A and B are shown apart, each in its own frame.
Chain A
Amino acid sequence: MAIRKLLIANRGEIAVRIIRAAQELGIATVQVHSAADADSLAVRMADEAVNIGPPMAAKSYLNIANILKAAVDTGADAVHPGYGFLAENADFADAVEAAGLIWVGPKGDSIRVMGDKVAARVAAESAGVPVVPGSDGRIDDLGSARNIALAIGFPVMIKAAAGGGGRGIRIAQDMEEFERLMPQASAEAKAAFGDGGLYMEKVIERARHIEVQILGDGTNVIHCFERECSLQRRRQKVWEEAPSAALPQAMREKLCASAVALAKAVNYRGAGTLEYLYDDASGHFYFIEMNTRIQVEHPVTEMITGIDLVREMLRIAGGEPLRFTQGQVRLNGHAIEVRICAEDPAQGFKPGPGTITSLKVPGGPGVRFDTMLYQGYTVPPFYDSLLGKLIVWDETRAAAITRMARALDELEVGGLPTTKPLHQALARDAGVQAGQFHTRWLEPWLEQNADKLGEESEAL
């Protein structure tokens, strides 16, 4: 049953992105919003808007009862959760379907399996997908955990089974630190996720973060190639590319085939991403987790394949089978996305909400800016700092970096600090240009290049 009226249970740039896809499909839109977001671009663009609570996300964007009530009151027949908030909440997915609505995403049970990092590891292994050496499941007690740590070798990562998005992770360099961190990690996981379960993984030094975009209709699964997101700060992605700067073609085929195999094994429906670590030196890749939702960095995949992923999500949720065979998905050129956040890179990435006094959006060939900003908009302090994503496409990686530098020079956001100077410095960096990086490359680079991260560096 095709979707007629879609409720967007999210905010910011992704809400705008979803509304655009819905509009192109002739689907009416309902934007739910907190009291702090009444003036948001998504509210202005949607056909209808419903206030679902106070600014605090726990009372609005995470308020399942209010969101479902808004859907019923407006006659919406589908819910798109975006990313973050309730996007990977299996109980919400079930509640949406129980209310007779279409959930734009995988079944609640798929979210449960793939959202539990331990269950996902087990599913990956049984689908023949390599995983990072570690515990075969949850750690039961300190004694057996000690033996596993000795077997896989230090440093080891202690991770929360219910964690994700870079949260709930600790690294122990030796046994003494391991024994000290284990109880802390368990208590913290219990407090943060309501589940103190832990598992362990070997730390892969100098690994790249490479992830595979997949689309499934519950029966068939295709991949849309990979993205590389190795440039991270505090485990948050900063700069994303498609394809990877480093993956040889034969390895790309193996990696993408493994992602399809795993997604097929769980009868995956919708858009999803399988995240891997890739070790250049050994040529090995290891599955780490799956995100059962659209991701922030999805536009780079759209740019290299020409497939509108959000539109496909809506079509699949509306009951259509996949519209592409694997052979029809072609990788063309190179795309890069940078996250423009309301943070000051010259001051330790201090967040800076405020009012947009001026806005100049870059244009020209191969340039896309996904944002919720408009001149005069006041960015509220209650949510994450992402203002927009600048995405460029060009024939080659080198040309895309040149184009990114050009587009960044055109971008002007007045009224608050942004991470634009960081991206300008990265685009000029020889290491970035050579694609010589790994997940722990950026943080020391930031320390060494602190002087290049102010707005004044533009004069150079």
Chain B
Amino acid sequence: MSKQILSPLPGTFYSRPSPDQPAFKVVGDVIAVGDVIGLIEVMKSFHEVTADQAGTLVAFIAEDEEPVMAGQPLIELA
């Protein structure tokens, strides 16, 4: 059964803490509830996106630096 983690806010999605650092999570990582999976930048303030479900990351639905709407799926878990 596939599960998705949704963006809590509208803004820009970042899969990395900063441009010169590795991604928070990569495909294949095991994700626990509460893990930070990315950042959403809303009006120049950054908000951590934490996993509300556990599972293995199978795919990024939103790409790094992509504009997203609130409720839009960011990653898919299995």
Contact = CB atoms under 8 A, between A and B. Distances in A.
Interface of A: 36, 54-56, 191, 342-343, 351, 353, 381-385
Contacts of B18: 191
Contact of B43 (A54, A56, A381): A381
Given A351-B42, A353-B42, A353-B43, A382 B67 contact: yes
Nearest to A354: B10
Contacts of A351: 42-45
A381 B20 contact: no
Contacts of B45: 351
A54 B67 CA distance: 9
Counting chain B CB atoms within 10 Å of each CB, the highest count among A36, A382, A384 belongs to A382
A346 B67 CA distance: 27
Nearest to A59: B65
Contact of A342 (B11, B12, B43): B43
B42 to A, nearest CB: 5
Given A351-B45, A353-B43, A381 B11 contact: yes
A191 B20 contact: yes
B9 interface: yes
A93 B31 CA distance: 47
Given A191-B18, A191-B20, A55 B43 contact: no
Contact of B67 (A36, A191, A342, A384): A36
A56 B44 contact: no
Contacts, number: 37
A385 B67 contact: no
B17 to A, nearest CB: 11
Interface in B1-44: 9-12, 18, 20, 41-44
A383 B42 CA distance: 8
B12 A55 contact: yes
A308 B11 CA distance: 35
- 9 nearest A-B residue pairs (beta carbon): A351-B43, A385-B43, A381-B11, A381-B10, A55-B67, A381-B42, A351-B42, A384-B44, A351-B45
Nearest to A54: B67
A54 B41 CA distance: 15
A381 B9 CA distance: 9
A381 B10 CA distance: 6
28 contacts: A36-B67, A56-B12, A56-B65, A56-B67, A191-B18, A191-B20, A342-B43, A343-B43, A351-B42, A351-B43, A351-B45, A353-B10, A353-B11, A353-B42, A353-B43, A381-B9, A381-B10, A381-B11, A381-B12, A381-B42, A381-B43, A382-B11, A382-B12, A382-B43, A382-B67, A384-B44, A385-B43, A385-B44
Nearest to A383: B43
A381 B20 CA distance: 24
Nearest to B9: A381
A385 B41 CA distance: 12
Nearest to B44: A384
A111 B8 CA distance: 40
Contacts of B43: 342-343, 351, 353, 381-385
A55 B41 CA distance: 12
A142 B26 CA distance: 39
A383 B9 CA distance: 14
Contacts of B10: 353, 381
A36 B12 CA distance: 12
A382 B12 CA distance: 7
A459 to B, nearest CB: 28
A204 to B, nearest CB: 27
Contacts of B44: 351, 383-385
A55 B43 CA distance: 12
